[in-house]
């Protein structure tokens, strides 16, 4: 049996890219909302009603993990729908949201993503490898701890700063968990912070927009789950941004599981991060 180290060094990027090909085929076979709205009748470990496309997407990703396991790699997988699967070593955690933004996928809206993170511990700070593939624009985001972050193979510039309008408000702020009631509860603070809001409908993709400085910041208006944020948060940090989970004791202390634990906040500067942490959630 190989060591923990070798599980971290498995070809995760190759496995993710093969999973993307499978997911693209699966989605192409069910192009209409009528087909994509079919539910399994069960709820995922994260508590959402599971769509057939979520379940099929998860099976495709798990098939890739099965293959890595057969090659001798040992780890534990945590996925949105099925929860935890033991592949032999709890020291390496593979955190998966097979489709982040299922509602967008169902309705034919562009942003929905495969999100996968590999960590050598139980929190956001421990993520070593991150992968997000956004099926709308067809963009591949990835990061390795201490090495950087890439969009479609091009290194993201960590020096990119934020843009503000004449009044000092952030030019574009991403919001997630955009239930109108939660928007209403946060609205005064958002008015102060932002010139324009964008709600893409996937936390993983929204974090990636901060990584590329397309968004000047993002905030979820409710607690996020480890499966949603694990990959995107490393991509932001390796691209020169800052991230925190304000409800946790440590900024990056949110657990890598499928339970809601804290909002996630991301920005291009510490000053903006502090400001966004103050948005009521």
Which residues of the chain form contacts with Mg ion (CB under 5 A)?
80, 97, 99, 102
- Tell me how far, at minimum, the Cβ of 24 lies from Mg ion, in Å: 16
Q: Is 1 helix (H, G, I), strand (E, B) or coil?
A: coil
Whichever of 88 and 136 has its CB closer to Mg ion, that residue is 136
Whichever of 80 and 257 has its CB closer to Mg ion, that residue is 80
- Tell me how far, at minimum, the Cβ of 133 lies from Mg ion, in Å: 13
Residue 46 makes CB contacts below 8 A (sequence gap 6+) with 80, 81, 225, 227, 258, 259, 260
Distance between alpha carbon 128 and the CA centroid of its chain, in Å? 14
Whichever of 213 and 235 has its CB closer to Mg ion, that residue is 235
Phi, psi of 60, rounded to the nearest 5 degrees: -65, -40
Phi, psi of 37, rounded to the nearest 5 degrees: -85, -5
Whichever of 61 and 99 has its CB closer to Mg ion, that residue is 99
Whichever of 43 and 155 has its CB closer to Mg ion, that residue is 43
Q: Is 16 helix (H, G, I), strand (E, B) or coil?
A: helix
- Tell me how far, at minimum, the Cβ of 95 lies from Mg ion, in Å: 12
Whichever of 114 and 172 has its CB closer to Mg ion, that residue is 114
- Tell me how far, at minimum, the Cβ of 99 lies from Mg ion, in Å: 5
The CB density around residue 33, as the number of other CB atoms within 10 Å, is 12
Q: How far apart are CA 226 and CA 222, in angstroms?
A: 13
DSSP 132-156: EEETTTTEEEEEETTTEEEETTEEP
- Tell me how far, at minimum, the Cβ of 211 lies from Mg ion, in Å: 20
- Tell me how far, at minimum, the Cβ of 98 lies from Mg ion, in Å: 6
Q: How far apart are CA 131 and CA 144, in angstroms?
A: 9
């Amino acid at each position: 049996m190989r060591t923990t180290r070798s599980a971290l060094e498995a070809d995760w990027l190759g496995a993710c890219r093969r999973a993307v090909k499978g997911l693209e085929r699966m989605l192409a076979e069910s192009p209409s909302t009528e087909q994509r709205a079919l539910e399994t009748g069960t709820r995922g470990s994260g508590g959402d009603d599971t769509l057939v496309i979520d379940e099929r997407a998860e099976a495709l990703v798990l098939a890739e993990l099965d293959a890595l396991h057969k090659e001798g790699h040992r780890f534990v997988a945590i996925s949105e729908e099925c929860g935890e699967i033991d592949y032999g070593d709890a020291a390496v955690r593979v955190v998966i949201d097979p489709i982040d933004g299922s509602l967008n996928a169902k309705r034919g809206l562009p942003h929905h993503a495969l999100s996968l993170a590999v960590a050598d511990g139980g929190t956001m700070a421990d993520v070593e490898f991150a992968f997000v593939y956004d099926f709308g624009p067809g963009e591949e985001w990835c990061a390795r701890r201490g090495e950087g972050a890439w969009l479609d193979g091009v290194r993201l510039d960590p020096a990119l700063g934020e843009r503000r309008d004449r009044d000092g408000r952030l030019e574009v702020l991403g919001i997630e968990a955009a239930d109108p009631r939660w928007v209403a509860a946060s609205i005064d603070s958002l008015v102060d912070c932002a010139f324009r809001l964008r709600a893409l409908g996937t936390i993983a993709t929204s974090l990636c927009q901060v990584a590329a400085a397309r968004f000047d910041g993002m905030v979820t208006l409710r607690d996020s789950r480890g499966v949603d944020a694990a990959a995107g948060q490393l991509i932001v940090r390796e691209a020169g941004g800052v991230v925190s989970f304000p409800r946790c004791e440590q900024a990056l202390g949110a657990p890598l599981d499928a339970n809601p634990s804290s909002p996630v906040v991301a920005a291009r500067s510490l000053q903006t991060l502090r400001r966004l942490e103050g948005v009521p959630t």
